[in-house]
Amino acid sequence: MPFIDRAAELKFLEEKWLSGTAQLLVLWGKRRVGKTELVKQFIEDKPSVYFMAESTGEKEQLQRFSLALARFFKEPLLETRGFSAWEEVFVYLKAKKQRFVLAIDEFPYLIQSNPAIPSLFQKGWDEHLAGSDICLILFGSSMAMMENEVLGYRSPLYGRRSGQWLVEPMPFRAAGLFREDRLFLDRLSHFAVAGGIPAYWLQFSPEKDISQNLRDHVLRKGEMLYDEVEFLLRMELREPRYYFALLQAIAHGKRKMGEIVNATGLPQSLTNKYLGVLADLRIVEREVPVTEATPLKSKKGLYRISDEFCRFWFRFVLPHRSELEMGRLEPVTRTIIAQFPQYLGDAYEKVARETLLARMDSFFPFTAIGRWWDRTEEIDVVAVNQEMNAILFCEVKAVEKPVGVDILESLRKKAGKVRWGSAARREQFCLFSRTGFTEALLKRARQESVVLFKEDRAVPVQGK
């Protein structure tokens, strides 16, 4: 499988490398997002040392680190003797008048072996490496530890880094390249499960459809994805049972704070705290209508699981765990696939937002994009520009039948209820449909300059 996408990340790293000066770079992102492969791709044609820290003691870490450096610099004596302290490492590296990359993977494991590691690296950088030729990359998957112990204001390393990059999940256009020879529905279906996590896409067989891939690689006991969510949450969280309860409630439609509290039985103070932790881990997000002037103070906040695989796992895998443990793969798979057409809605809305952001030249520069709702109505995607007094309304339909004029008329009616901008605001309308549009709607779109997208591709519509 060729390396896919990450052009922006590679450009960032290349520019830092070509600067010719000492670099202390920090990469972080959720587990399985592809940080290791990204760094390996970057260092492939460069003099480099790649070291992966492990959950072992400091002495063992230093021995393995010494061996990695000894092999790179071809020094048998170092391989035999090794370093006894990190101070020795920095003194040794300073003496090497050579431009090379030192990439330390799973840096949080080093911190676990010795909580003073951030201070030791800060001192080593200040006294020895800041004026060297090294390009030092620290990266890891523990979001909390990387953000607090490496990037945080109170971290000894704060202010030393010359660059940082949060490695995000891939967008649909990139993740879909794992199945680029497949139809849009196939790619959308797999995206609704795997999201933008490359490691999950690689678990799927390219020859199988979504039903077969779910049965063989997600729902089957013993497969990596079967226990993946439970494994990741236990790696990140101290009290996973409470987080499980919260995520299960949200996955089954309990999105308001009060609903979540009632469903879980947890006090609101604890619920708020745990939801904040899940938000920091990029698993949950709090949504407010995109037109809200003060989002943080809005009382309209709703919680949703932003990680596609977590959402799928809590929606479909956990509730059927007993059946799956007994090997009842076929009936569970049939149940899930029967519900899949409705389940695709969230994933398709995400694809629509991504598509619109890439096609802003067809509308106006967006300053915000998201959903809108009030007590009785909701609109799938709304994009705004306050300065231009411009607003875009968009409906996204993953249904089996072509979208008709009724959907456009309903969207226009709902748009009239959106209180935003001045009375002279510029309004535009857009529709996404997985299966296309009726002839009547195509005619209306031409008359009213409505922008249409079938799947994720624009439908040519001439003006009046």
Structure tokens, 251: 């996955």
Specify burial of residue 447 (Cβ count, 10 A radius: 0-12, 13-18, 19+): exposed
Q: Cα separation of 204 and 258, whole Å?
A: 38
The pTM of the full predicted model, rounded to 2 decimals, is 0.93
Write the CA distances from 166 to 8, 141, 162, 207, 235, integer angstroms: 11, 11, 14, 33, 20
Strands (E), 353-450: 368-373, 378-385, 390-397, 426-433
The mean pLDDT value for 334-349 works out to: 95
Cβ atoms of residues 135 and 99 within 8 Å: yes
* Cα 298 to Cα 286: distance, rounded to the nearest angstrom: 11
pLDDT tens for 72-127 read 999 988 988 899 999 999 999 999 889 999 999 999 999 999 999 999 999 999 99
At a CB cut-off of 8 Å and minimum separation 6, what does 34 contact? 6, 167, 170, 197, 198, 199
Alpha carbon distance 343, 312 (integer Å): 9
**Which pLDDT does position 1 carry in this prediction?**
57
Distances (CA, A) of 348 to 50, 206, 296, 398: 38, 21, 26, 7
- Topology annotation, domain 359-459: Trna Endonuclease; Chain: A, domain 1 (3.40.1350)
Return the CATH number of the domain spanning residue range 173-344: 1.10.10.10
* Cβ atoms of residues 450 and 427 within 8 Å: no
Q: What's the CATH superfamily of 7-166? A: P-loop containing nucleotide triphosphate hydrolases (3.40.50.300)
Average per-residue pLDDT for the chain: 94
Once rounded to an integer, what is the mean pLDDT over residues 154-169?
Answer: 94
pLDDT above 50 (res 330): yes
The pairing of beta strand 378-385 with beta strand 284-287: unpaired
- Is the predicted pLDDT of residue 259 greater than 70, yes or no? yes
Domain ranges of the chain: 7-166, 173-344, 359-459
